[in-house]
């Protein structure tokens, strides 16, 4: 299932999908199916236009980010779960150090909270989710990060084997039970929180949502945007992937509702 999901996403992400549809249009033109070729060309152009020149991506992510507001600081926190995805595994392996991506806010927020709650246990869930599986995963890399932030390594529990969110939940539940931890803060990207929270709920794991890494301003209106096509494409791709993952979790029975 993990590899199937990876391969499927390569095909259906917006820019790749537009290319595939355009190639199909050319093939239809070659074999004389001109009307079908015209329709497919129009479809490819529409996908490109929506992806590059509208606020579809930011608006869609904003919709997900609004599902869970960050609560007031609790009086006490005994544990927090940090879902992986903040490290650029390939660049880190090639360059050394701790190279992070846009989801680094997950770890920055966890480090901030670790100072506020100095006795809280930090469970980092995330292995190598790449095709090759040859890199150190988030959990393994996080030890150095938290130590550099002044967090005692003895407070860190590392879940090193999971490759996606469904596996995050399964493996994390095992470690929570083994260490008798419950009612943890759940720290992940705001757009990812609805799916992550739903998957934990389905496994009977009670968590307190603590969203981070917001991608949209919260004031985005659906419409045209010709100012930042590359960013629009990235946001649309991220949004489409998350909505597809929500649908997949629902169809697999891992989530009780399509939109948690």
Per-residue pLDDT for 242 more than 70?
yes
Check if the beta carbon of residue 125 is closer than 8 Å to that of residue 81. yes
With vertex at residue 244, the alpha carbon angle to CA 240 and CA 248, rounded to the nearest 5 degrees, is 170
Window from 24-28, 94-98, 164-168 with minimum mean pLDDT: 94-98
Q: Tell the residue number behind the tokens 């001109």, with chain if given.
A: 34
Report the chain's terminal Cα–Cα distance, integer Å: 22
Per-residue pLDDT for 129 more than 70?
yes
Predicted confidence band at 157 (pLDDT cuts at 50, 70, 90)? very high
Predicted confidence band at 4 (pLDDT cuts at 50, 70, 90)? low
Predicted confidence band at 11 (pLDDT cuts at 50, 70, 90)? confident
- DSSP helix, strand, coil percent of the chain (3-state; round to 5): 55, 10, 35
Question: Cα-flanking dihedrals φ and ψ of residue 229, to 5°?
Answer: -60, -40
Report, as an integer, the average pLDDT of 192-198: 97
For residue 88, count other CB atoms closer than 10 A to its CB. Answer: 18
pTM of the model: 0.92
* Spatial distance between the Cα atoms of 145 and 98, rounded to a whole number of angstroms: 7
pLDDT (tens digit per residue) in 89-112:
999 999 988 899 999 999 999 999
Residue 100 bridge partners (DSSP)? 87
Where are the domains positioned within the chain?
2-65+227-251, 79-212
CA count, 13 A, side-chain hemisphere, 48: 12
Residue 78 buriedness (CB in 10 A; 0-12 / 13-18 / 19+): middle
Q: Tell the residue number behind the tokens 């609790």, with chain if given.
A: 74
Buried/exposed 143-172: b ≥16 CB within 10 Å, e otherwise:
eebbeeeebeeebbbbbbebbbbbbbbbbb
pLDDT (tens digit per residue) in 209-218:
999 999 999 9
pLDDT (tens digit per residue) in 50-86:
999 999 999 999 999 999 998 899 999 999 999 999 9
pLDDT (tens digit per residue) in 35-46:
999 999 999 999
Predicted confidence band at 178 (pLDDT cuts at 50, 70, 90)? very high
Q: Check residue 92 and give its pLDDT.
A: 93
With vertex at residue 21, the alpha carbon angle to CA 18 and CA 24, rounded to the nearest 5 degrees, is 150
Q: Check residue 5 and give its pLDDT.
A: 62
SS3 state of residue 163 = coil
Check if the beta carbon of residue 110 is closer than 8 Å to that of residue 122. yes
Hey, which CATH number is domain 79-212, 1.10.357.10, 3.40.50.620, 2.60.40.10, 3.40.720.10?
3.40.50.620
């Amino acid at each position: 299932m993990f590899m199937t999901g990876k391969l499927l996403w390569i095909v259906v992400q917006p820019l790749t999908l537009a290319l595939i549809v355009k190639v199909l249009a050319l093939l239809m033109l070659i074999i004389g199916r001109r009307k079908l070729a015209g329709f497919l060309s129009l479809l490819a152009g529409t996908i490109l236009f929506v992806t590059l020149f509208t606020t579809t991506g930011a608006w869609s992510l904003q919709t997900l980010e609004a599902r869970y507001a960050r609560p007031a600081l609790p009086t006490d926190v005994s544990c927090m779960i940090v879902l992986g995805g903040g490290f650029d595994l390939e660049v880190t392996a090639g360059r050394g150090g701790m190279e992070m991506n846009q989801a680094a806010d997950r770890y920055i927020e966890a480090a901030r909270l670790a100072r506020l709650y100095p006795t809280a246990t930090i469970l980092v869930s995330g292995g190598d989710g790449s095709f090759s599986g040859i890199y150190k995963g988030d959990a393994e890399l996080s030890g150095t990060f938290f130590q550099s932030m002044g967090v005692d390594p003895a407070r860190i529990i590392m879940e090193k084997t999971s490759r996606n969110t469904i596996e995050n939940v399964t493996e994390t539940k095992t470690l929570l039970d083994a260490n008798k931890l419950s009612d943890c803060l759940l720290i992940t990207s705001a757009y990812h929180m609805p799916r992550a929270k739903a998957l934990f709920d389905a496994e009977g794991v009670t968590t307190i949502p603590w969203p981070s890494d917001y991608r949209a301003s919260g004031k985005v209106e659906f419409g045209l945007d010709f100012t930042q096509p590359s960013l629009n494409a990235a946001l649309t791709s991220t949004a489409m992937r998350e909505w597809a993952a929500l649908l997949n979790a629902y169809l697999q029975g891992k989530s009780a509702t399509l939109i948690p």
